[in-house]
């Protein structure tokens, strides 16, 4: 067996923090020393305490030594507001101040305290909060290097996992970073009006880990980590399209697609505001059944608004599917979440009900949640891969900026390369009147009708009238036929 395989099979100390063990490939190694570095307020203290309370819930004892002059009563009082705090757990965590010991006896006094208290309580986890206070007391790097070496020996002999918390910004060549077994960083970033937290693993001896930045959230439940979705294991399997056709819920579109969407494919509805993208999504979701449950994931409209819209458009099956439980509507604010948070919530909802039909309305809102715009393409590639591997047929909506314009003006995103189906919906001006048109411009592994077709929206639903006559200037969004058909008087906006 290879050395790396042996390292991965070593017994781990589970952290009890959602998502963190995934990033750490199973947890922390016993008998090892780790630094958790971060600026004030980044989440160091709550992370260390949550780990301690998890192990206290497993009937283990933990030692928490602070090198600051703050009151432990105040610390425990703040922790009591979290969901992970229990009085029983607190009784198994021994909080002790090392401030006066450090002031009076220096590093040797602190080391002696650690040895005595670790032995007395037979601890599983030892936390030393305030490593920077030790650094301020040392006379040289050699002295501090010797202290770090003694900490490693103590962790190895006792089998304890030792966490050193610091907000020091000393260079990575300093003894604490070169000698410890692992280095975890928690940080806060300000992006415009949003405050974002993240975790990053810089070093982890004896184990692999997921590199890069991962979203960190602090709530009443405590700390949780959202591993970067691009690293999710479901991304690494090559998805395949099902041969079965899945109805779009709109018979006219099914005929245009020569039978509907291929199962487990991705479709993109592209067009300006009000053209009918949401209406097509309502049709697709309304075709849900017990065998093919659906989820309508929306950033803009509440369930009640979608139900009302479906009723006005004569899509009766939408309410019926909701009442039967075959369809669920989820709403999330477009600017108050992160991409990873949305992806994991979505995946959990899909698996909870075995969803096979998914509408995401819209792609533009999903992009707004991105903390880094240049990440969107990679994220969408991962998301569509996972959805296809989950056997989910997905319909995205995407808005084009031009109210009236042709395909030549449409800027497709990275999702266009990942979509097996693209339906372009446009407004066209004909003799000073506006018509709606629909064109299938992509339907991978299948034949389809590529004609530019006029369609209407009324209280009777959506209806494709037929191909629009060919005109040289149609792609610009303007046409002037003498034989142009007048629009249906019942046309309504979507």
* pLDDT tens, per residue, the chain with 494 residues: 344 444 445 688 899 999 999 999 999 999 999 999 999 889 999 999 999 999 999 999 999 999 875 678 888 889 999 999 999 999 999 999 999 999 899 999 999 999 999 999 999 999 999 998 888 888 788 888 999 999 999 999 999 999 999 997 777 778 788 899 999 999 998 877 788 899 999 999 988 999 999 999 999 999 999 999 998 876 667 677 778 999 999 999 999 999 999 999 999 999 999 999 999 999 999 999 999 999 999 998 999 999 999 999 999 999 999 999 999 999 998 777 789 999 999 999 999 999 999 999 999 888 888 878 888 889 999 999 999 999 999 999 999 877 665 554 555 556 677 899 999 999 998 878 899 999 999 998 788 999 999 999 998 889 999 998 765 455 455 555 444 443 343 344 44
Task: Compute the distance between CA of residue 194 and CA of residue 135 in angstroms, rounded to an integer.
Answer: 34
What is residue 492's predicted lDDT score, i.e. its pLDDT? 41
What is residue 413's predicted lDDT score, i.e. its pLDDT? 59
**10 Å Cβ neighbour count for 126?**
25
List C-alpha distances in Å: 469 to 270, 284, 419, 483: 22, 28, 28, 9
Pick from 485, 431, 443, 433: nearest CA to 463: 485
What is residue 88's predicted lDDT score, i.e. its pLDDT? 95
Task: Compute the distance between CA of residue 490 and CA of residue 458 in angstroms, rounded to an integer.
Answer: 5
What is residue 141's predicted lDDT score, i.e. its pLDDT? 81
**331 in Cβ contact with 303 (< 8 Å):** yes
List the structure tokens of 358: 């998914």
> What's the count of helices (H) and strands (E) in the chain, helices before strands?
17, 21
Domains by residue range for the chain, with CATH: 3-227 (3.40.50.300), 235-479 (3.40.50.300)
What b/e readout covers 26-47, taking b as 16+ CB neighbours within 10 angstroms?
A: bbbbbbbbbbbbbeeebbbbbb
Show the DSSP H helices in 194-338 as ranges: 251-256, 277-286, 303-312, 316-324
**386 in Cβ contact with 234 (< 8 Å):** yes
What is residue 89's predicted lDDT score, i.e. its pLDDT? 95
What is residue 422's predicted lDDT score, i.e. its pLDDT? 95
> Which residues are paired to 195 by β-bridges?
190
Task: Compute the distance between CA of residue 130 and CA of residue 145 in angstroms, rounded to an integer.
Answer: 17
Torsion sign (Cα): 114, 117, 119, 122: negative
Pick from 205, 145, 187, 144: nearest CA to 44: 187
What is residue 405's predicted lDDT score, i.e. its pLDDT? 56
List C-alpha distances in Å: 80 to 83, 169, 492: 8, 30, 55
Task: Compute the distance between CA of residue 146 and CA of residue 156 in angstroms, rounded to an integer.
Answer: 15
């Amino acid at each position: 067996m290879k050395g790396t395989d042996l390292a991965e099979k070593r017994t781990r100390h589970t952290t009890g923090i959602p998502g963190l063990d995934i990033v750490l490939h199973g947890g922390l190694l016993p008998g090892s020393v780790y630094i958790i570095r971060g600026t004030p307020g980044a989440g160091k203290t709550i992370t260390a305490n949550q780990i301690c309370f998890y192990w206290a819930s497993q009937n283990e004892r933990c030692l928490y030594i602070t090198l600051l002059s703050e009151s432990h009563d105040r610390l425990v009082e703040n922790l009591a507001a979290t969901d992970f705090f229990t009085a029983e757990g607190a009784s198994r965590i021994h909080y002790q101040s090392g401030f006066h010991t450090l002031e009076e006896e220096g590093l040797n006094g602190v080391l002696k305290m650690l040895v005595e208290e670790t032995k007395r309580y037979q601890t599983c986890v030892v936390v030393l909060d305030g490593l920077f206070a030790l650094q301020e007391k040392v006379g040289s790097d050699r002295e501090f290097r010797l202290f770090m070496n003694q900490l490693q020996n103590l962790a190895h002999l006792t089998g304890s996992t030792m966490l050193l918390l610091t907000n020091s910004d000393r260079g990575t060549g300093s003894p604490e970073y070169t000698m410890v077994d692992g280095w975890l960083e928690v940080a806060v970033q300000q992006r415009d009006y949003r405050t974002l937290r993240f975790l990053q693993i810089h070093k982890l001896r004896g184990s692999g880990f997921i590199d890069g930045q991962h979203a960190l959230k602090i709530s009443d439940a405590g700390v949780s980590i959202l591993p970067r979705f691009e690293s999710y294991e479901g991304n690494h399997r090559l998805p395949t399209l099902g041969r079965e056709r899945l109805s779009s819920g709109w018979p006219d579109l099914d005929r245009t697609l020569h039978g509907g969407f291929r199962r487990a494919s991705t479709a993109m509805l592209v067009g300006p505001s009000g053209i009918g993208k949401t209406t097509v999504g309502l049709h697709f979701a309304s075709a849900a059944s017990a065998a093919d449950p659906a989820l309508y994931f929306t950033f803009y409209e509440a369930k009640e608004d979608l139900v009302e819209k479906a009723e006005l458009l004569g899509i009766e099956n939408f309410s019926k599917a909701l009442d039967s439980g075959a369809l669920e509507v989820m709403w999330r604010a477009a600017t108050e979440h992160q991409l990873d948070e949305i992806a994991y919530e979505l995946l959990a909802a899909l698996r909870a009900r075995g969803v096979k039909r998914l509408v995401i309305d819209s792609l533009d809102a999903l992009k707004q949640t991105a903390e880094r715009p240049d990440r969107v393409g990679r994220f969408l590639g991962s998301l569509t891969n996972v959805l296809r591997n989950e056997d989910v047929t997905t319909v995205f909506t995407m808005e084009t900026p031009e109210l009236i314009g042709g395909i030549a003006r449409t800027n497709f995103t990275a999702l266009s390369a990942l979509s097996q189906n693209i339906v372009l919906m446009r407004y066209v001006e004909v003799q000073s009147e506006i018509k709606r048109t629909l064109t299938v411009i992509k339907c991978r592994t299948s034949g389809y009708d590529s004609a530019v077709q006029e369609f209407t929206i009324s209280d009777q639903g959506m209806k494709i009238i037929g191909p629009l006559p060919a005109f040289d200037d149609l792609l610009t969004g303007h046409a002037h036929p003498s034989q142009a058909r007048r629009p249906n008087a019942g046309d309504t906006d979507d």
